[in-house]
Amino acid sequence: MDVVAWTGSTACALQQALRMTNDDFADHLGVAVRTVANWHSAPGTVPRAEIQSALDTAYERSSASVQRRFGLLTRPTPAAVEAQALRVAIAVVLKGDDVLLVCRRGDGKIRWQFPAGVVKPGASPAVVAVEETQSETGIRCTVREHLGSRVHPVTGVVAEYHACEYLMGEATNRDQIENADVAWVPRAALTRFIPEQSIFPPILEALA
């Protein structure tokens, strides 16, 4: 297991890799929400020894995919290379009147989301959206339209959204460590699974 030098910056990277809000991450570690907020405002802060121990435990108990995301977030950037914001490609896959969702695990809570994957430097977000959908769900799709991008209000990453058309395959949960379930959901029922205020507005327009 890698040894992590915990600072406010690396603690926030773990939070981002776990895809948790400040409240969720504070509860996960057993610390005050203001402690997490302080890490965001003062990334050079070194946590107390007992909090570093809690961070060690949270990292060691996290899934392999979370540890990979953490590694990407904390990987040193060569001085000659301009730092790039972490990007995620998101696939909004349509099949008739249904849209494809995955149910994420995390800190004892389960959340429905669209299939998504991290975009490595030089990679095409559209290709990542298609490949990650197949990897997570077994569904083959093709990108129909780029719906736009935004800084995600919860994770803080740059999210690239793509409307995709179903081609073939049966929806199955191929990543049982990170996901609890995969399902086709009626478009009209989408907001029962994902709060409307959390959905990128162009998605709602595309599904209308």
Task: Report residue 81's pLDDT band, with 50, 70 and 90 as the boundaries.
Answer: very low
Task: Find the mean pLDDT for residues 138-161.
Answer: 89
CA separation for the pair 159, 151 (Å, rounded) = 6
Kindly state whether residues 17 and 53 are assigned to the same domain: yes
Among 16, 40, 74, residue at a domain's last position:
74
Kindly state whether residues 163 and 120 are assigned to the same domain: yes
pLDDT at 77: 57
> Is 31 domain-assigned?
yes
Task: Report residue 83's pLDDT band, with 50, 70 and 90 as the boundaries.
Answer: very low
Task: Report residue 56's pLDDT band, with 50, 70 and 90 as the boundaries.
Answer: very high
Kindly state whether residues 51 and 107 are assigned to the same domain: no
Kindly state whether residues 47 and 93 are assigned to the same domain: no
pTM of this structure: 0.59
Q: Which domain holds residue 15?
A: 8-74
Kindly state whether residues 105 and 197 are assigned to the same domain: yes
Q: Locate 129 and state its tokens.
A: 């959206």
> Is 3 domain-assigned?
no
Task: Find the mean pLDDT for residues 45-68.
Answer: 91
The residue type at 111 = R
Tally of domains in the chain: 2
Q: Locate 64 and state its tokens.
A: 């392999």
> Is 79 domain-assigned?
no
Task: Find the mean pLDDT for residues 58-67.
Answer: 91
pLDDT in tens, 101-148: 999 887 556 689 999 999 988 889 999 999 999 999 999 999 999 999
> Is 82 domain-assigned?
no
Among 74, 97, 126, residue at a domain's last position:
74
Kindly state whether residues 95 and 196 are assigned to the same domain: yes
Among 51, 74, 97, residue at a domain's last position:
74
Kindly state whether residues 191 and 95 are assigned to the same domain: yes
pLDDT at 80: 39
Residue 25's closest CA among 107, 111, 113? 107
What CATH number is given to the structural domain containing 125?
Answer: 3.90.79.10
Residues 92/161, Cβ–Cβ less than 8 Å: yes
Kindly state whether residues 180 and 98 are assigned to the same domain: yes
